[in-house]
């Protein structure tokens, strides 16, 4: 698996990441939950959908995250620390796309999430070798997450979904280190797969408000050493088929093998916009 050297590429997730958009579903709509990593199930007081039909939804989202940890792309050189605030990420931003979708039939649920991010930064990189004074990181990453599962609780005030699937990671990253007497650079282009298990819960708060909680765990048996995330949010129904949401997301990836190290946690608020049809 090309998991080694996925390192610095995860900066993009700062925006995206949004591997999982958290948007509540209208309390009076027969549709259901938002997508993947940030997905949040439909309000628990919503009427169950027709058992002989499909329901679909699209979700747009933005994640205002920072990133902290360490990574090594160059091999023999010591790992560099990462301490990127959201403002650092914003300055490094080149391009991003984030989107998610959901389909449901009776108790079967399918979720999908796609993100692409391009960042180029010289800030937030902690150089640990005295030979180097400057660093620059260029990172392009795409992530495709697909989950399928079953709604195990569908009739009470609480909605519960159990899900399984995986995430395909595409990374292209370059790190350049420069000093007065020495320079070093490394470039990685890798693709790997992380199997995932996930769960999400939705609870009505009254009126047009609802709350949601999502979590997933992956890697371990292949791909990343471990990857996990959790998203908690509150959603408000604007119209029968439109809702907005706000929440907080934490995303962690740890990989360490040979000359490659990636151990980074990203966290921050996020907003979502959901449309059912």
Tens digits of per-residue pLDDT, 50-101? 455 899 999 999 988 888 888 777 767 777 888 888 888 888 888 888 889 9
Identify the three-state secondary structure at position 89.
helix
CA distance 233 to 202: 10
pLDDT digits (tens, 9 = 90+) for 119-169: 888 888 877 777 777 888 888 888 899 999 999 998 778 999 999 999 988
CA distance 181 to 178: 8
Q: pLDDT at residue 21 above 70?
A: no
Candidates 216, 202, 213, 199; CA nearest to 251 is 216
Q: What is the mean pLDDT of residues 28-34?
A: 40
CA distance 107 to 145: 20
pLDDT of residue 18: 35
Cα 126 to its chain centre, rounded Å, is 24
Cα 40 to its chain centre, rounded Å, is 13
Angle at 256 between CA 116 and CA 98, to 5 degrees: 10
Sequence ranges of the domains in the chain: 7-276
- The mean-pLDDT minimum among 35-39, 173-177, 239-243 falls in 35-39
Q: pLDDT at residue 196 above 70?
A: yes
> What pTM was computed for the model?
0.76
Q: What is the mean pLDDT of residues 175-181?
A: 81
Q: Please, is 85 exposed, middle or buried when counting C-beta atoms within 10 Å of its C-beta (0-12, 13-18, 19+)? A: middle
Q: pLDDT at residue 250 above 80?
A: yes
Instruction: Give the right CATH number for 7-276 from 3.20.20.10, 3.20.20.190, 3.40.470.10, 2.40.128.100.
Output: 2.40.128.100
CA distance 40 to 209: 13
């Amino acid at each position: 698996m090309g998991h080694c050297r996925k390192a610095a590429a995860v900066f993009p997730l700062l925006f995206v990441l949004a591997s999982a958009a958290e948007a509540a579903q209208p309390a009076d709509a027969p549709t259901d939950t938002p997508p993947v990593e940030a997905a949040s199930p439909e309000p628990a007081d919503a009427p169950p959908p027709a058992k002989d039909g499909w329901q679909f939804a699209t979700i747009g989202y933005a994640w205002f995250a920072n990133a902290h940890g360490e990574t090594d792309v160059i091999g023999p050189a010591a790992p560099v620390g990462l301490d990127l605030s959201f403002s650092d990420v914003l300055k490094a931003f080149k391009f991003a796309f984030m989107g998610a979708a959901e389909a449901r039939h009776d108790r079967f649920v399918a979720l999908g999430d796609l993100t692409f991010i391009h960042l180029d930064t010289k800030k937030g990189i902690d150089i640990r070798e005295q030979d180097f004074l400057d660093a620059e990181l260029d990172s392009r990453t795409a992530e495709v997450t697909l989950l399928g599962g079953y709604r195990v609780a569908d009739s009470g005030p609480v909605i519960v979904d159990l899900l399984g699937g995986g995430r395909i990671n595409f990374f292209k990253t370059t790190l350049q280190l420069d000093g007065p007497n020495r320079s070093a650079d490394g470039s990685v282009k890798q693709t790997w797969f992380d199997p995932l298990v996930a769960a999400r819960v939705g609870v009505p708060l009254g009126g047009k408000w609802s709350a949601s909680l999502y979590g997933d765990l992956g890697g371990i048996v292949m791909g990343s050493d471990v990857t996990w995330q959790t998203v908690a949010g509150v959603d408000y129904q604007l119209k029968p088929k439109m809702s907005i949401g706000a929440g907080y997301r934490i995303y962690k990836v740890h990989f360490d093998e040979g000359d490659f190290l990636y151990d980074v946690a990203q966290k921050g608020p996020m907003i979502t916009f959901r449309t059912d049809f």
